[in-house]
Structure 1
Amino acid sequence: MKKSFRPLIPALLAGMVLAPASLAQDRHSTQQAEFQVQTFTEGLEHPWALAFLPDGRMLVTERPGRLRILESDGTLVPDLVPGTPDVAARGQGGLLDIALHPDFENNRLIYISHSISGGNGMTTAVSRARFEDDRLENLERIFTAEPFSGATRHFGSRLAFDRDGYLFITVGDRGEKDRAQDIDDHAGSLIRLHDDGSIPEGNPFTDRDDARPEIFSYGHRNPQGLTLHPETGVLWEHEHGPRGGDELNIPEKGLNYGWPVITYGMAYSGGTIGEGTEKEGMEQPLLHWTPSIAPSGMAFYDGDHFPEWRGDLFVGALAMTHLTRLEIEGEEIVDEERLLEDRGQRIRDVRSGPEGYLYVVIDDSDAEILRLVPAE
């Protein structure tokens, strides 16, 4: 069982042509490095995720259901990417995460998580397609979380490939917390699949009739951060708590991460949830944020422009509107620093760019993508 840890620092639309980023910037001094914030692009509507193409361009999802292309200089291409899946853009749902296949340069496959509607409500789904000639072709759905729900929140939806080529998908508890302890229900779990959506034989519950064979770990509330450590290849995950109790975990096969039986958070009404903060057979988080920062998006920095940050983990915060930088030794958090607090912006995604800059996706109806560069 992992040791619990408290942080060391308390707790526009299609058709409009946008010019390249003005690169207006402001300077920040931090514990480890000085950086400037550039407005890389703007005019996005609730962007959710960013992915880097090998040719230097980027793909960005907008929650209402649009996939956009950014040129390498930040110019937002006016035309929408055709061929995107139908989405149910209600509540917290819509077009959400995006990930490139590890062999994208050869197979051109991309993966998109999104919410869909069905006869019994909504759920999380993942579709894949070929990205050819700036459009999506041969779109197919490879995963649908079952069962559907009338709720419009907690879709999870982060995507990540590990070094063995497995696709991991987070699915939230849909706001129906007891579902996270039911392994015959995809809600509140981390899913592991082959790249075509088939189920790996090594998944922990494939031999049980009372479980969903796609589940890798369970007892998660609403996981919206998922990334690989650039050196070890270990998968890291974070999730929203209620009032407090946001968690950072290293999910392992078949393990139960406790929600809602154990949590460091409390109900929005102020009451208690579950049986306390620990229970045998349930995992402790590496770190928990109390009060809640509402973490969303997460990336290890592995570039050259900020050698002081190499190996640090960056986490966006929606509620506390900042960027958290975590220093890590092995699997231990040794320091935490909060950046960009003065801007008061909800951070939805964080990505370490291939050229060594750090990109920060803002969640707003008229949103920016920021780029962190070394101070001049």
Structure 2
Amino acid sequence: MERLSAISLTMALAVASAHAEEKPMDTEHQNLRLVPVAENLEQPWGVAVLPGGLFVISERTGQIQTFYNGERQEVEGLPGIHVEGQAGLLDIAASPDYPDTGWLYFTYSNGDTGSTATALARGRLAGDRLVDVEELFEQNRRSEPGPQAGSRLAWLEDDTLLMSVGDRGSPERAQDTQDHAGSILRLDPQGLAPEDNPLLEEAGYLPEIYSWGHRHVLGLAVDEDRDNIWAVEARSNGHDELLLIQRGENHGWADEGEDSGMLERGASSGFFNEDEVVEPAYRFSEDVSPSGLAVVNGEHYPQWQGNLLVGGLESEQLYRIEVTDGNEVAGVEELLDEPLGPVRDVRQGPDGYLYVLVGDENGMLYRLEPNE
């Protein structure tokens, strides 16, 4: 697919803007604006921004929508997806070699009203259909459809894939290292555990687990320049967290509030204690329900290099988090003067722009541009 010219992209944004207004943002370092790119989305969850100006958006209700040059198209050919509560079609991401292979990876709830599991599949776009669809991975223990299914995807520099799975509403599962729930997994492009996974040969651990002790990671991003993996997680005790993920380590859910003492009771492996829990890099001071996370390194935001951009489901806010070279949080800026709507996803595209996915039944995709 040929890359959109600047004129074509401007026309595409103009079509969307005819129905939705731009939103100016005066931030500490830069004047910006949110420009509508796509609208009328039904419970959007994730967005893949592809080279050439193609936007691929997953809707939790079980649809994929594509937007190109102002034209919208619904994609057919998805596998069976169970939609109930927070279960349904979840995240979507293009493979690093997408221009050569065309692979799109996506997570979803596989099952029925009796039980579901968070699964990973991939397929290729062919017009308005997804073809060559194959399921690559399914978490090892099914449960009743409900909260905290997950999921987010992020590629590492070595072309392995990180996939988060929520605790499925059962906090104790996040401390069971023979259960995929409550974990971040690391998989190869075929959905298998890479040979250098940190716990591959450790007794009592599933080989796909990269880190565990997670409630519901809905933001996952890789900073290749600093060799960091960042995640944001909603905690039911009101202390939503920014996490610097450590390979093969326990990140502590559930260890506070009503679930206090769970770590002392231990996991199935029995190989750790409370002293070995990784502390969060930052705890939000208000209920944010963080969702969506991007590492900023695009040329359009010269004062934000290396910062993190985080969305809030409950707060309906965007946050810029300044991170030092030592991975310390130096400051947090709220970017919006008024609520934008529940933020679902935040991604940086190959064009260097940041994209923000917002909303429920009337969802929107915005592009964050300098307001010149």
| TM-score, normalised relative to structure 2 | 0.88
Runs (5+) with no aligned partner, structure 2: 1-13, 264-272
Pair 1:333 & 2:320 matched: no
Q: Is the CA contact (8 Å cut-off) linking 1:98 and 1:110 kept in structure 2?
A: yes
What is the CA-CA distance between 1:140 and the residue it aligns to?
Answer: 0.8
What is the CA-CA distance between 1:314 and the residue it aligns to?
Answer: 0.3
Q: Is the CA contact (8 Å cut-off) linking 2:37 and 2:365 kept in structure 1?
A: yes
When residues 35 and 119 of structure 1 are mapped into structure 2, their CA distance, relative to the original with a 3 A threshold, is: closer
Question: Which residue of 30, 39, 55 maps to 2:36?
Answer: 39
Query: SS where residue 197 of structure 2 aligns?
Result: coil
Partner of 2:242: 248
CA distance in 2, matches of 1:24, 1:369: 12
Question: Which residue of 208, 231, 235 maps to 1:237?
Answer: 231
Partner of 2:186: 192
Query: SS where residue 364 of structure 1 aligns?
Result: coil
What is the CA-CA distance between 1:344 and the residue it aligns to?
Answer: 4.4
Partner of 2:306: 311
CA distance in 2, matches of 1:39, 1:372: 9
Aligned amino acid, residue 320 of structure 2: R
Structure 1 residues 73-152: aligned runs within 5 Å: 75-77=70-72, 79-118=73-112, 121-152=115-146
Q: Is the CA contact (8 Å cut-off) linking 1:240 and 1:294 kept in structure 2?
A: yes
Q: Is the CA contact (8 Å cut-off) linking 1:160 and 1:168 kept in structure 2?
A: yes
CA distance in 2, matches of 1:209, 1:139: 34
CA distance in 1, matches of 2:114, 2:84: 15
Structure 1 residues 19-58: aligned runs within 5 Å: 19-22=15-18, 24-58=21-55
* More helix per residue: 2
CA deviation string 1:167-194 (max 9, x = no partner): 1100110110001010110000111111
CA distance in 1, matches of 2:46, 2:337: 21
Pair 1:61 & 2:58 matched: yes
When residues 323 and 59 of structure 1 are mapped into structure 2, their CA distance, relative to the original with a 3 A threshold, is: same
Partner of 1:349: 345
Pair 1:170 & 2:189 matched: no
Aligned amino acid, residue 43 of structure 1: N
Runs (5+) with no aligned partner, structure 1: 1-17
Partner of 1:204: 198
CA distance in 2, matches of 1:289, 1:151: 29
What is the CA-CA distance between 1:353 and the residue it aligns to?
Answer: 2.7
CA distance in 2, matches of 1:363, 1:124: 23
CA distance in 2, matches of 1:97, 1:251: 19
When residues 124 and 306 of structure 1 are mapped into structure 2, their CA distance, relative to the original with a 3 A threshold, is: same
Q: Is the CA contact (8 Å cut-off) linking 2:75 and 2:129 kept in structure 1?
A: yes
Q: Is the CA contact (8 Å cut-off) linking 1:243 and 1:291 kept in structure 2?
A: no
CA distance in 1, matches of 2:23, 2:208: 46
CA distance in 2, matches of 1:199, 1:229: 22
Partner of 1:220: 214
When residues 305 and 205 of structure 1 are mapped into structure 2, their CA distance, relative to the original with a 3 A threshold, is: closer
Query: SS where residue 74 of structure 2 aligns?
Result: coil
CA deviation string 1:261-292 (max 9, x = no partner): x24xx34xxxx63479x930111011112432
Query: SS where residue 241 of structure 1 aligns?
Result: coil
What is the CA-CA distance between 1:76 and the residue it aligns to?
Answer: 4.5
